[in-house]
Structure 1
Amino acid sequence: MPSSITPDIAGLRALSHPVRLRMLTLLRGEGPATATTLAARLDLNTGATSYHLRQLAQHGFIEEDSERGNARDRWWRAAHESTRTDFREKGVVDSDVEAYLTTVAMLYADRMRAAVSEMAFLPEEWRPVGTLSDWEVRLTPTQAEQLVQRLAKVIESADDSDADGAAPFVVNLNAFPRPGQRWSS
């Protein structure tokens, strides 16, 4: 599976629907599934689920898993491990990009709230692992871009482990100019 996809504007528009983004997250994290399985997991009807799966497939985010199922039982899998956005290629942050980013932020917040609510129930060795930290540093746009690139490389260089006790570990990289500040011309 290729490691990442950088969608065009039409792809971002397709992903700006929260149900599609949740489906893609499930397919990436939990593996291949059918429309029926995803419908039950997301509390949707199978018709709506099938529609959203077709939209994701049309834009290259998922693909049919031909090694599973049959003509009646169609399985889907993620086509990439991650989605990256590169605003330089998009030109400006227009309403389509903003809609996508708003959906991403909402789902990240939901996932983070769920992780916090489950912390007390984690196995003992997993309780001290992770962080919800933030740093604020003064940087030029060039320095900020270089920092984000270095952090992304560190995250992408992490090797998946098959060792006993290994479990899925989510890393979100959120980096942005502090909201609400006044910009000088």
Structure 2
Amino acid sequence: MDGPQAPQVRSLDARSLRGLAHPLRMQLLDALRFGGPATASQLAEKLGESSGATSYHLRQLATHGFVEDAPDRGKGRERWWKAVHQGLRFDEALLSDADPAVRGAADMYLHQIATTQTQDLSTWLGNRASWPAEWNRVWDMSSATLRLTPELTHELIEKMHALIDTYRDRAATEDDADVAQVRLHTHAFPIVTD
């Protein structure tokens, strides 16, 4: 194999979006993507849900190809699940789909992403003191307001994503004591000014 593999990213279409656009399903998928394989009971405990609810929604995610069995983990009747993809790609055309159910699912999906990102940041701020000093010196919560055209905004977004991708290849090994999953959120949107 030549060099590191690009992360496997799934593009959402109308059908798969409708299968994913549910707050608990999105939480389950994130838990598996970022925490690794788990059982419905483990996920229920982690997310404060019933194992019946997590089992049902995991099966729905499997039907739409987001999760699958992790048979190397299971013992006996224990069913382990794992995420199929490392990331998702959203097509803004879903927001203008002819089907109102698709538009509604797209809107719900985006609002849930925004809520999750806000919760991620809030959790960091609440737990920051429990992290070593090295991590408390390198976190960031900044914003910038620029005057840009749509074309320049697109260029900036592409460059930010390309820069982030260059760090995927530089990631430390799992056995490095200083390794942590670092969440990066990027937002770019126009605002109304007076």
Q: TM-score, normalised by structure 2?
A: 0.84
1:29-178 map, 5 Å: 29-70=34-75, 72-88=77-93, 90=94, 92=96, 94-159=103-168, 160-162=171-173, 163-178=176-191
Contact 2:10 2:88 (C-alpha < 8 Å) held by counterparts: yes
Deviation at 1:152, TM superposition (A): 1.1
Taking the aligned partners of 1:147 and 1:68, their CA distance within structure 2 comes to: 42
Find the residue that maps to 1:136 and give its secondary structure: coil
Higher relative contact order (CA 8 A, sep 6+): 1
Deviation at 1:96, TM superposition (A): 2.0
Taking the aligned partners of 2:91 and 2:166, their CA distance within structure 1 comes to: 20
Taking the aligned partners of 1:150 and 1:86, their CA distance within structure 2 comes to: 19
Find the residue that maps to 2:167 and give its secondary structure: coil
% identical equivalent positions: 35
Which of 23, 31, 34 is residue 26 of structure 1 equivalent to?
Answer: 31
AA paired with 1:26? A
Taking the aligned partners of 2:187 and 2:50, their CA distance within structure 1 comes to: 33
Deviation at 1:70, TM superposition (A): 4.1
Q: Work out the number of aligned pairs and report it.
A: 180
Find the residue that maps to 2:72 and give its secondary structure: coil
Q: TM-score, normalised by structure 1?
A: 0.88
- Show structure 1 runs of 5+ residues with no match: none
AA paired with 1:143? L
Decide whether aligned partners of structure 1 residues 91 and 99 sit closer, same or farther in structure 2, where only a CA change above 3 A counts: closer
Kindly report the root-mean-square deviation, in angstroms, between the aligned alpha carbons of the 2 structures: 2.0
Moved over 4 A (4+): none
Decide whether aligned partners of structure 1 residues 18 and 91 sit closer, same or farther in structure 2, where only a CA change above 3 A counts: closer
Partner in structure 1 of residue 10 of structure 2: 5
